[in-house]
């Protein structure tokens, strides 16, 4: 690679949204717009293209950019690595708890006050397993409960009650299958209920509208008028 210039930072407004992007000029014929899982928009343009022209082209793609961002907002590999020792912070339903590992004959995980107690051996690997099981159990319980509640809203649109699966995923909060099942990320139980409901509602709406089309967003707005606020909050988790 030769002569890599620093990208130019630009931004424009689209409705309520501010869309920043990084622009790079290269020896190439066409303009390319990409969005990564980090939600950053990168634009690569031919060397001789005037900036105003690039900006106009990117503005035209604003809707697509926002949709793509929405898609990536459901990806969330951002939890920092843990050591599984006393004193570190663990999150549950949007709240922080201090981990306390207590040597004990019997293994148990318990939430009490501001603490998340893990009883048993102090081996971090075991602590991690026990916590993993605890999160999995609580995720299943919480998601099932809120799925039932969200379903009451979407039922009238002819959506069939889905089977739900809870699994740890690297890249996304939730997805749905052709067969009409919903898959939710165990990690989502670390987000506030408010956000959990958004992901569930989003997936429920997909059971009727597969893709992120106009009709999908129309349905989502109808079922959850404040979904954008919830989504934003989820992104900041
Ligand atoms: Zn979606």
When pLDDT is averaged across residues 56-71 and rounded to a whole number, the result is 87
Model pLDDT for residues 152-208, shown as the tens digit of each residue: 999 999 999 999 999 988 778 999 888 889 999 999 999 999 999 999 999 999 999
Percent of the chain with pLDDT over 90: 72
Residue 78 lies in a domain: no
Q: Is residue 80 part of a domain?
A: no
In a domain, 82, yes or no: no
Within this chain, do residues 112 and 29 fall inside the same structural domain, yes or no?
A: no
Distance 216 CA to ligand 1 centre (A): 8
Residue 139 sits in which domain range? 89-235
* Residue where one domain finishes, among candidates 44, 72, 100: 72
For residue 39, is pLDDT > 80? no
Q: How many independent structural domains does the chain possess?
A: 2
Q: How far is the CA of 175 from the centre of ligand 1 (A)?
A: 7
Nearest to 58 by CA among 8, 15, 20: 20
Residue 133 resides in a domain: yes
CA–centroid distance, residue 220 to ligand 1 (Å): 10
Indicate whether 128 belongs to any domain.
yes
| 47 and 136 share one domain | no
Q: Is residue 227 part of a domain?
A: yes
Residue 93 has pLDDT above 70, yes or no: yes
For residue 237, the CA-to-ligand 1 centroid distance in Å is 19
Distance 4 CA to ligand 1 centre (A): 36
Beta strand pairing status for 32-35 and 41-46? antiparallel
pLDDT at position 11 is: 92
Residue 146 Cα to ligand 1 midpoint, Å, equals: 18
212 and 102 in a single domain? The answer is yes
Pair (193, 159) in one structural domain: yes
Whether 178 and 127 have beta carbons less than 8 Å apart is answered as no
Beta carbons of 198 and 205 less than 8 angstroms apart: no
Both 112 and 185 in a single domain?
yes
Residue-wise pLDDT for 127-141, tens only, equals 999 999 999 999 999
Distance from residue 163's CA to the centre of ligand 1 (Å):
17
What's the 184 CA to ligand 1 centre distance in angstroms? 12
| Residue-level pLDDT at 77 | 43
Ligand 1 centroid from CA 212, angstroms: 6
pLDDT at 4: 59
Distance of CA 80 to the CA centre of its chain: 15
* Pair (181, 222) in one structural domain: yes
**222 CA to middle of ligand 1, Å?**
15
**Is the predicted pLDDT of residue 79 greater than 60, yes or no?**
no
Asked if residue 185 and residue 123 are part of one domain, the reply reads yes
Q: Are residue 60 and residue 109 in the same domain, yes or no?
A: no
Given a contact cutoff of 8 angstroms between Cβ atoms, the answer to whether 90 and 131 are in contact is yes
pLDDT of residue 2: 47
Query: How far away, in angstroms, is 201 Cα from ligand 1 center?
Result: 10
The pLDDT tens digits of the residues spanning 202-237 come to 999 999 999 999 999 999 999 999 999 999 888 766
For residue 36, name the pLDDT band (cuts at 50, 70, 90): confident
Q: What angle do CA 209, 160, 186 make, to 5 degrees?
A: 80
Distance from the CA of 15 to the center of ligand 1, in angstroms? 21
For residue 169, the model assigns a pLDDT of 85
Residues 65 and 153 in one domain: no
- If asked whether residues 101 and 181 sit together in one domain, one would say yes
Span from the CA of 65 to the centroid of ligand 1 (angstroms): 14
pLDDT higher than 70, residue 73 = no
DSSP string, 92-158: ETTEEEEEEEEE-SS-EEEEETTEEEEEE---HHHHHHHHHHHHHHHHHHHHHHHHHHHHHHHGGGT
48: helix, strand or coil = coil
């Amino acid at each position: 690679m030769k002569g890599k210039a620093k990208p130019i930072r630009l931004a424009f407004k689209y409705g309520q949204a501010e869309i920043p992007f990084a622009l790079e000029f290269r020896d190439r014929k066409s303009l390319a717009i990409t969005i990564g899982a980090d939600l950053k928009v990168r634009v690569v343009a031919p060397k001789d293209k005037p900036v105003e022209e690039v900006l106009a082209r990117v503005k035209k793609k604003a809707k697509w950019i926002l949709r793509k961002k929405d898609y990536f907002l459901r990806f969330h590999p951002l939890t920092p690595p843990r050591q599984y020792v006393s004193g570190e912070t663990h999150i549950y339903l949007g709240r922080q708890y201090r981990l306390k590992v207590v040597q004990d004959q019997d293994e148990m995980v318990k939430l009490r006050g501001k603490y998340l107690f893990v009883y048993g051996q102090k081996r971090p690997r075991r602590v991690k397993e026990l916590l993993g099981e605890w999160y999995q159990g609580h995720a299943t319980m919480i998601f099932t409960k809120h799925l039932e509640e969200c379903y009451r809203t979407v039922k009238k649109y002819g959506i069939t009650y889905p089977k739900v699966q809870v699994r740890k995923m690297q890249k996304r909060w939730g997805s749905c299958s052709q067969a009409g099942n919903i898959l939710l990320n165990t990690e989502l139980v670390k987000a506030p209920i408010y956000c959990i409901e958004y992901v569930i509602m989003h997936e429920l709406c997909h059971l009727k509208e597969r893709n992120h089309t106009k009709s999908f967003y129309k349905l989502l707005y109808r079922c959850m008028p404040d979904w954008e606020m919830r989504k934003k909050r989820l992104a900041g988790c």
